[in-house]
Amino acid sequence: MDLLNTLVDKGLRRELPTREEALAVLATSDDELLDVVAAAGKVRRQWFGRRVKLNYLVNLKSGLCPEDCSYCSQRLGSKAEILKYTWLKPDDASKAAAAGVAGGAKRVCLVASGRGPTDKDVDRVSETISAIKEQNEGVEVCACLGLLSDGQAERLRAAGADAYNHNLNTSEATYGDICTTHDFSDRVSTVQQAQAAGMSACSGLIAGMGESDADLVDVVFALRELDPDSVPVNFLIPFEGTPLAKEWNLTPQRALRILAMVRFVCPDIEVRLAGGREVHLRSLQPLALHLVNSIFLGDYLTSEGQAGKDDLAMIEDAGFEVEGTDTTTLPEHRRPCGEQVAAAPEADAEAPAATVPAPSDEARRDLVSVRRRGAGTDLPPNA
């Protein structure tokens, strides 16, 4: 297929596809799916070999968020029956993180619900970062605390935070459809503050909220422009008790096409398979490893993932290997002291938006399991 040959060539040169090409990936048929995966897999292997980076989430503060993000089980007005608790103590958070590190995680992601941290919250998280790094040599720590105020990014960096996560989630044009308490520019600003403070930027998206193909391409192109080091791709988990509970728009095949499109647009960036993979990819999860080079191990913030041992077995069975702490994730040219990434060429004029796929006939609610173990409970974590 000429399209795929072109995209592989561009990916190996770190060249930005056109919007038309990115849209064409999403429009490929199921008959062409394995060809799409194979082509994107060539790009993935060029920059990351067969390595898979493991990340582990620790939910420092769960539920009761004042923001109204429609996709979130922790949102204002959510009736989802999730765990709700205030800040974990630094020692408790460190113990939770240690479980993930013992399972092979290279990065620990510290997440807290809320619009953004207070200065006291930053102090608390700083103590947690110190505790984790003292007890786990070589581990990376990423903070995800919401919108940052002036000076907070610098304080987190000084405390030892290696990275900061704040997702764009969807296109700027449709952001107001999923949230009214802050806007797209607020999210962009926070990512830029993290970068300016010297932290590695982590910013991604959520697919499956009813967006069009054009929306997906728009948000991925916006991410490419921000140039984060890692891009998590989440697939909506339609929690009962949230406004998007009935949005079951994804098939495993569509999820793979979305991941392939992200890889072609972000060829040398860490693409992370994040929340919702078990729900929407199901038995096709191993194929996704040919597209992404990073996954979350075990459970998510408010939902349970597959057993950590099953994640490790899946990686091994698919012929991949867990990336060790002695290996740098990003290719040499993207490292802080390396060569700068070449400027991307201008994209072609925007192609017409594709139609949103019809929802699945049967919602797989049996696959959504609210987290009842790990941080904030007396039960051991899944790692």
CB count in 10 Å sphere of residue 359: 14
Q: Which ranges of the chain does DSSP label H, i.e. alpha helix?
A: 2-12, 19-26, 33-48, 90-102, 119-135, 152-158, 175-178, 184-196, 213-226, 252-265, 277-280, 285-288, 308-317
CB count in 10 Å sphere of residue 28: 18
- Tokens of residue 160, six digits: 């030892």
DSSP state of 370: B
Task: Quote the pLDDT of residue 339.
Answer: 39
Q: In whole angstroms, give the CA distance from residue 293 to residue 35.
A: 19
Q: In whole angstroms, give the CA distance from residue 82 to residue 71.
A: 14
Q: In whole angstroms, give the CA distance from residue 59 to residue 97.
A: 10
Cβ atoms of 281 and 288 within 8 Å: the answer is yes
Cβ atoms of 323 and 51 within 8 Å: the answer is yes
Each residue's pLDDT tens digit, 339-350: 343 333 333 434
Closest by CA to 71, choosing from 193, 168, 164, 149, is: 168
* Burial degree of 20 (CB within 10 A; 0-12, 13-18, 19+): middle
Each residue's pLDDT tens digit, 64-98: 899 999 999 999 999 999 999 999 999 999 999 99
Q: In whole angstroms, give the CA distance from residue 369 to residue 82.
A: 10
DSSP state of 283: G
Q: What is the gyration radius of the CA atoms in the chain, in angstroms?
A: 19
CA 211 to chain centre: 17
Task: Quote the pLDDT of residue 375.
Answer: 87
The parts of the chain modelled with pLDDT lower than 50 are: 338-359
Q: In whole angstroms, give the CA distance from residue 189 to residue 122.
A: 18
- Tokens of residue 375, six digits: 């941080």
Task: Quote the pLDDT of residue 35.
Answer: 98
- Beta-bridge partner residues of 111: 59, 144
Task: Quote the pLDDT of residue 337.
Answer: 57
Cβ atoms of 359 and 276 within 8 Å: the answer is no
- Per-residue CA distances from 228 to 194, 266, 302, 341 (Å): 10, 10, 25, 12
Instruction: State how beta strands 270-273 and 230-235 pair.
Output: parallel
Q: In whole angstroms, give the CA distance from residue 218 to residue 221.
A: 5
